[in-house]
């Protein structure tokens, strides 16, 4: 077991400051990279590490970097850090930036050097107002110590990091919408191709990576890509931050070695501490609200009866029929008091609100989903609404420019697949489900077969 790589020193008093972070071994990766490595060698280490994008998609980072168009030296290249963390259930990047900001700044300096980005932007969601100050202070400190600015460590490489604020739009976490927003426009995703690696910020070659991905470059450089790849199982290498919330005893952000058994993560006192005392495990959305919801028993064990691991592959085993996804690591646990219909309605409202409005299937479809779920939840639904929901979800999925449409459709499809009885109950007994707080207690007894 590797133990913690990113959060090892998070509880050290004063770790937010450059001096304490440095005293704990910080900025070694910058020293090593700038003094002993060429930019391509850094990229090779990242490739060897097997690091996959930590924002949700899980795309290999080294490969993404290698796509960056280096054939036009007259055009600047940009690195943009995606700190727009808005996926319900996800608050890991916030924790990292708030309490140990220099690990991100260090990762950004090394990555900017590797990619040749002289102006690097951190696009942070606007609501994290106090974290903007924390990041700007950290950047100022790094600059004062010669780790940013002109001619860093005598290499001739110049780099500035700027913090850009969003203004409350989930869609700006999608990389092309983020770039539009960074250019001062509405966050409408762009049609791909061209990909940002060729036509990104201001039409220049650009790499967009998540906060945690860029922070992970620090241990990769320090320990070497091969060593990093030894942590984990198969193609899920290294450590991952998981933000755990919902009905558990110990909500919070945990750094785990990928490959940890899910049972241990959920139930041991070192991590989530189990389902909140006195309650039973009903369902889980383990990777942020966009990934399929699955019942607790299918989460702990696959249909074949194998215990699941916290890896990209194991969580998706069984596909959409009985599996889910690692996603962003937003781990939302629900006990038997949870009304699946109400929870889904809340998520449908979220996606409807956050749809940018560009593609009709998403703009109209998310509204329909919200409306139908609202009437089911409030006692005005019909039995045929359930199939209508499935039908609409199918028509959104795959028919939009960006993945927000899929993200809105998957939770609906999976909730109905696994908890159809609850939807039917809502249609059959409207009087019992109407009323704002009637949603939980009235029917859970009759549906106890569903809960574990």
Partner 1 sequence: MAETTTGEIKFSDASLKKVAEIIARYPEGKQKSALLPILHLAQREFDGWLSAPVMDYVASLLNIKPIEAYEVATFYSMYNLKPVGKCLIEFCQTGPCLLRGVEELIDYTEQKLGISLNDNTADGKFTIKAVECLGSCGSAPMAQIGKFYYENLTKEKIDKIIDLFGKPDFNPDIKYDI
The answer to whether 295 contacts partner 1 (rule: CB under 8 A) is no
Near partner 1 by CB under 8 A, which window of 43-51, 306-314, 318-326, 344-352?
A: 344-352
d(CA 417, CA 336): 18
Q: How far is the CB of 351 from partner 1 (least distance, A)?
A: 9
Within 214-253, the residues that bind partner 1 by CB under 8 A are: 243-247, 251-253
Q: Which of 49, 61, 82, 90 binds partner 1 (CB under 8 A)?
A: 90
Q: Which of 54, 125, 143, 426 binds partner 1 (CB under 8 A)?
A: 125
β-strand pairing of 78-83 with 119-124: parallel
CA-based nearest residue to 104, from 26, 24, 197, 185: 26
Q: Which is nearer to partner 1, 185 or 382 (CB)?
A: 185
**What are the distances in angstroms from CA 147 to CA 112, 217, 239?**
12, 16, 26
Cis peptide before 186 (omega within 30 of 0): no
Within 345-364, the residues that bind partner 1 by CB under 8 A are: 346-347, 349-350, 353-354, 356
Within 420-439, the residues that bind partner 1 by CB under 8 A are: 436-437
Dmax (CA) of the chain: 74
Q: How far is CA 132 from the centre of its chain?
A: 19
Q: Which is nearer to partner 1, 143 or 342 (CB)?
A: 342
Cis peptide before 65 (omega within 30 of 0): no
The answer to whether 445 contacts partner 1 (rule: CB under 8 A) is no
The answer to whether 127 contacts partner 1 (rule: CB under 8 A) is yes
d(CA 223, CA 232): 15
* Complete edge-to-edge strand list for the sheet that includes strand 78-83: 160-165, 119-124, 78-83, 206-210
Do 395 and 365 form a contact (C-beta atoms < 8 A)? yes
Within 98-117, the residues that bind partner 1 by CB under 8 A are: none
Within 387-426, the residues that bind partner 1 by CB under 8 A are: none
Within 366-385, the residues that bind partner 1 by CB under 8 A are: none
Q: How many CB atoms lie within 10 A of CB 401?
A: 18
**What are the distances in angstroms from CA 153 to CA 109, 309, 436?**
12, 42, 61
Q: Which of 11, 36, 73, 130 binds partner 1 (CB under 8 A)?
A: 130
Within 24-63, the residues that bind partner 1 by CB under 8 A are: none
Here's the x/- map for partner 1, 253-282, by CB under 8 A: it reads as x-----------------------------
Q: Which residue has the tokens 């194998």?
A: 306
Here's the x/- map for partner 1, 162-191, by CB under 8 A: it reads as x-xxxxxxx----------xxxxxxx----
Number of residues that bind partner 1 (CB under 8 A): 59
**What are the distances in angstroms from CA 441 to CA 25, 114, 210, 382, 438?**
53, 56, 40, 21, 6
Chain positions contacting partner 1, by CB under 8 A: 76, 85-91, 94, 119, 121, 125-130, 160, 162, 164-170, 181-187, 202, 243-247, 251-253, 285, 289, 330, 332, 334, 338, 342-343, 346-347, 349-350, 353-354, 356, 436-437
């Amino acid at each position: 077991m590797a133990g913690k790589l990113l959060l090892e020193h998070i509880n050290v008093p004063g770790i937010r400051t450059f001096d304490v972070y440095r005293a704990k071994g910080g900025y070694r990766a910058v020293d090593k990279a700038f003094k002993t490595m060429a930019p391509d060698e850094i990229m090779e280490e990242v490739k060897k590490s097997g690091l996959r994008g930590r924002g949700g998609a899980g795309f290999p980072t080294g490969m993404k970097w290698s796509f960056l168009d280096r054939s036009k030296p007259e055009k600047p290249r940009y690195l943009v850090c995606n700190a727009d963390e808005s996926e319900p259930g996800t608050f890991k990047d916030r924790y990292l930036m708030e309490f140990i900001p220099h690990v991100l700044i260090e990762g950004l300096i090394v990555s900017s050097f590797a990619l040749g980005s002289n102006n690097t932007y951190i696009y942070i969601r606007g609501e994290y107002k106090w974290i903007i100050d924390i990041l700007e202070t950290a950047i100022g400190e790094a600059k004062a110590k010669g780790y940013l600015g002109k001619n860093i460590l005598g290499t001739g490489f110049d780099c500035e990091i700027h913090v850009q604020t969003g203004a409350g739009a989930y869609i700006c976490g999608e990389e092309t919408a983020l770039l539009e927003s960074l250019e001062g426009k509405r966050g409408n995703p762009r049609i791909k191709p061209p990909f940002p690696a060729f036509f990104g910020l201001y039409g220049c070659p650009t790499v967009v990576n998540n906060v945690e991905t860029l922070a992970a470059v620090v241990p990769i450089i320090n320990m070497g890509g091969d060593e990093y790849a030894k942590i984990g199982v198969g193609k899920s290498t290294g450590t991952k931050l998981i933000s755990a919330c919902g009905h558990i005893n110990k909500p919070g952000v945990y750094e785990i070695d990928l490959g940890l058994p899910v049972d241990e993560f959920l139930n041991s006192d070192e991590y989530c501490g189990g389902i909140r005392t006195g309650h039973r495990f009903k369902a889980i959305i383990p990777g942020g609200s966009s990934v399929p919801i699955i019942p607790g028993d299918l989460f702990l064990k696959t249909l074949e009866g194998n215990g699941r691991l916290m890896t990209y592959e194991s969580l998706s085993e069984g596909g959409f029929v009985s599996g889910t996804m690692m996603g962003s690591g937003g781990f939302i646990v629900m006990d038997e008091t949870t009304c699946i219909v109400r929870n889904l309605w809340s998520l449908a409202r979220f996606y409807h609100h956050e749809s940018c409005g560009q593609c009709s299937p998403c703009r109209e479809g998310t509204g329909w989903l919200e409306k139908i779920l609202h009437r089911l939840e409030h006692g005005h639904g019909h039995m045929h609404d359930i199939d209508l929901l499935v039908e609409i979800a199918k028509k959104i999925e795959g028919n939009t420019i960006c993945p927000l449409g899929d993200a809105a459709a998957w939770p609906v499809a999976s909730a109905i697949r696994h908890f159809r009885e609850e939807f039917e109950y809502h249609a059959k007994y409207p009087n019992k489900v109407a009323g704002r707080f009637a949603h939980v207690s009235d029917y859970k007894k009759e549906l106890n077969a569903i809960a574990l």
